[in-house]
Structure 1
Amino acid sequence: MRTEQEMFDLLLTTAQHDERIRAVYLNGSRANPHVAKDMFQDFDIVYVVTETPSFLEDDKWIHLFGDLLMVQEPDLLDKGLGLDKNFAYSYTYLMLFTDGNRIDLRLLSTQAMLDEYGKDKLTVPLLDKDQLLPPISPTSDCDYHISPPTKGQFDSCTNDFWWCLQNVAKGIWRDELPYAKQMFEDTTRHALHQMLNWWIGQQHHFQLSTGKMGKYLKNYLPENYWALYKKTYADADYDHMWSAIFATCTLFRSIAKDVAHHFHFSYPHKDDANMTVYLKHVQMLPRDAKSIL
C-alpha cells in the first residue's frame, strides 16, 4: 500500500504538471490533527481548475493515480436520477485503488471554490499557483464539536425516544422484522446517540466530536456505559431484540437524567414509567391477542 507521503506527492505532482489545475487543498480527516491516522482514511482533495469539460470528456487521466478497483461519480449518478447538476461548476470522482488507498477528488471551478473555501474549517491549502485561495484560519475541527442542547431540543429528544418505542414494540409483535429493526435504528438509536453526545459533551466542555455516526463513542464512554451500549445491538431474534430495547432504555434513562440535572431541565419521569410498563406488557402479549389491555 502506498504511503501517505507517496499519495500526497502523486496528487501534487499531477496538479503541478497540469496547467488546468491552478490550486489544491485538503479537507476531511487528514486535515484534522486530532484524528488518529490509519490506512483507511480517504484523501479528500480539491483541484481548483480553469474548466471541467476537458477532464470529463476523457477521464483516462484519473488512472494516473493508480490501478482503480472502482469509481463512483456522484454528480453523474444524480443527473441520471433527474437532479439538476452543473458539471461546469463542480464534479466529483470517488476512487478506490487496488492497493486500498481512496481518493475523493473534487474538481471545482474558481467560482465554486470562492463560494465554499474555508467554510469547512478542516481545510488545508496545499498548492496555489496564482494566489487564488483566500486567507483562512488554521485548520480546526470546531465545526464538528457537540453543541449544548436547548430545552426544546432536550424535550424533543426524550419525547421522541419514549414515544417511538411503541412502533418498535408493535413491529415485533406483528412479526414485521424489517419495520421493527429500521424503526429502532432510525428513531430510538438516533435519540440515544443525541443524548449520548450531550452527555459526553458536558463532560468535556463541548470541545470535541464523537465522529460521524458516533464512531468515537467508545473513546468517551466509561466502561460500564460502553458495555451497556453494546447490549443495545441485537440479531433477528425477537427475545434478543427485547433485551436490547430494555438495555437501551436503561442507558438512555441514566444519561438523560444526568443531562437534565446538568442543564436544569425536567426529565419526563411519567413518560418513562408509563412506556416502560407498556413495553413490558407488549413483550408478554400472545401473538393471537385481540386487545392490548
Structure 2
Amino acid sequence: MRSEKKMMDLILNVAERDERIRAVYMNGSRTNPTLVEDLFQDYDIVYVVTETTSFLEDEHWVDVFGDRLMMQEPDKNDQGAGGDIADFYGYLMLFTDGNRIDLHIETLPHMQEHYGEDKLTVPLLDKDDCLPEIPDATDEDYHVQKPTEQEYLARCNNFWWCQQNIAKSLWRDEVPYAQFMLECIIRRDLDQMVSWWIGTQNGFQVSTGKVGNYFKKLLSEEYWTMYEATYADEDAEHIWDALFAAGDLFRTLAHRVADEFSYTYRREEDENMTRYLKQVRRLPSSADRIF
C-alpha cells in the first residue's frame, strides 16, 4: 500500500506538471484534526482547472494515479448534485493497493463561489494565488446541534408513531417492510436522540459521524450495549426484541435530553404505543380484532 507521502506527492506532482490545473485543495477526514488517521481514510482532493472539457474527453487521464479496482463517476451516473459538468466533475477511485482518491475537478468560477463552504478544507497548491484565505480546518459544522423544543417533540412523536407500521408488518409476516421501517425510519429518530444526548455530555462541541460512526466511543458501555440490542436479523421475534430495545434506549435518553432543556417528554405517546405493540405481538395470526 502506497504511503501517505507517496500519495500526496503523486497528487501534487500531477497538478504541478499539468498547466490546466491551477490550484489544489483537500477536504474530508484527512483535514479533520480531531480524528485519528487510519488506512481507510480517503484522499478528498479538488483540482481547480482552467476548463473541464479536455479532461472529460480523455477518459484515461486518471490512469496516472495507479491501477484501479473500480471507479465511479457520480455525475455520469446521474448521482451527482445535478450541477453543470462544465463546472464540476468527480472521479471516485479505489486502487489495487487499497488507497482511495475522491477527486473532483472544478473551474475557477466554481471554486470562487464554493471554496471554504466546507470548513474541513486545506489548501495544498496555488499557482496563481487564486485560493482565498480561509481559517484553519475545523469540524465545527459537523457538531451535533441543540434541538429546539419543536424539533425534539417532532422527533419523539415520529419515533413512536412509526412503530405501529412495524407491528402490523410483523403480524402480516412482511419482514422486509418491518426491517425497512426499523432501519430507515425508527433508527433515524433513535440516532438523532442518541446524538442529542451525546451533545449534552460534550457541550455540543462534538460530531457523532455521518450515521453514528462514533457512537461506540462516545456512549457509555451501558448505553452502547443497549444500542447494540436494537439490531436484528430476519427472525420476527428478534425484530420485536430489537424494536422494544430501541424504545428502551430512546425513552431513557429522551428523558435526559428533556431534563437538559426543560422540555416535556410526552409520556402518553410512549406508553400508549408500547401497550399497542405488546398487544399486537401477542395476537395470533388468526385474530379478527386487535383489542
TM-score (norm 1): 0.97
Partner residue, 1:237: 235
Over 3 Å counting, the alpha-carbon distance change for 1:6 and 1:151 in structure 2 is: same
- CA distance in structure 1 between the aligned counterparts of 2:42 and 2:256, rounded to whole angstroms: 37
2:91 counterpart of 1:96: no
Cα distance, 1:185 vs. partner?
1.3
Matched, 1:114 2:112: yes
Secondary structure of 1:37 counterpart: coil
Does residue 1:176 correspond to 2:174, yes or no?
yes
Q: Could you say which residue in structure 2 is the equivalent of 1:279? A: 277
* Equivalence for 2:60: 60
SS for the counterpart of 2:60 is helix
Give the partner amino acid of 1:71: M
- 1:188-207 matches, within 5 Å, as 188-207=186-205
The equivalent residue for 1:42 is 42
- Please state whether the residue corresponding to 1:281 is helix, strand or coil: helix
Code of the aligned partner of 1:198: W
Q: 1: distance between equivalents of 2:163 and 2:112?
A: 46
Deviations 1:9-65 (A, max 9, x none): 100000000000000000100010111111111100000000111111112121110
AA in 2 matched with 1:270: E
State the AA in 1 paired with 2:50: T
Give the residue type in structure 1 aligned to 2:38.
D
Q: Secondary structure at the match of 2:48?
A: strand
- Structure 1 segments (4+ residues) deviating >3 Å: none
Tell me if structure 2 keeps the 8 A contact 1:94–1:102: yes
- What whole-Å deviation, never above 9, does each CA across 1:177-215 have from its counterpart, x for those lacking one? 111100111221111000001000000000010001001
Partner of 1:162: 160
CA distances 1:159-188 after superposition (whole Å, capped 9, x unpaired): 001100000111111111111100111221
Q: Give the AA of the match of 2:163.
A: L
Do the aligned partners of residues 200 and 84 (structure 1) sit closer, same or farther apart at CA in structure 2, a change above 3 Å counting? closer
In 1, are the aligned partners of 2:25 and 2:123 still within 8 Å (CA)? yes
For residue 84 of structure 1, report the CA deviation from its aligned partner. Answer: 5.6
**Structure 1: how far apart are the matches of 2:257 and 2:276?**
25
Matches within 5 A, 1:80-95: 85-95=83-93
In the alignment, the residues of structure 2 paired with residue 61 and residue 195 of structure 1 have an alpha-carbon distance, to the nearest angstrom, of: 46
Distance in 1 of aligned mates of 2:75 and 2:244:
43
SS state at 1:257 partner: helix
Q: Indicate the residue corresponding to 1:74 in structure 2.
A: 74
Contact 2:120 2:137 in 1 (8 A): yes
Determine the structure 1 residue equivalent to 2:25.
25
Q: Secondary structure at the match of 2:269?
A: helix
CA distance in 2 between counterparts of 1:243 and 1:31 reads 40
Asked if the contact 1:149–1:198 (Cα under 8 Å) also holds between the matched residues in 2, the reply is: yes
Q: Which residue of the partner structure matches residue 252 of structure 1? A: 250
Kept after mapping to 2: 8 A contact 1:78/1:85: no
Q: Alpha-carbon deviations, 1:130-174, whole Å to 9, x = none?
A: 001011011100000001010000000100011000001111111
Q: Distance in 1 between matches of 2:268 and 2:158?
A: 14
TM-aligned CA deviation for residue 290 of structure 1: 1.3
Q: In structure 2, what is the equivalent of residue 13 of structure 1?
A: 13
Name the one with the larger helix percent: 1
AA aligned to 1:101 is N
- Residues in 1 aligned to 2:82 and 2:290: alpha-carbon distance in whole angstroms: 49
How big is the shift at 1:85? 4.6
Residue 85 to residue 201, structure 1, CA distance change in 2 (3 Å): closer
Between the two proteins, what is the percent identity of the paired residues? 55
Kindly provide the amino acid, as one letter, of the partner of residue 109 in structure 1: T
Residue matched to 1:125: 123
Query: Which position in structure 1 is the counterpart of 2:216?
Result: 218
The superposition leaves residues 198-234 of structure 1 with CA deviations (integer Å, 9 ceiling, x where unpaired) of 0000000000100010010001110011011100001
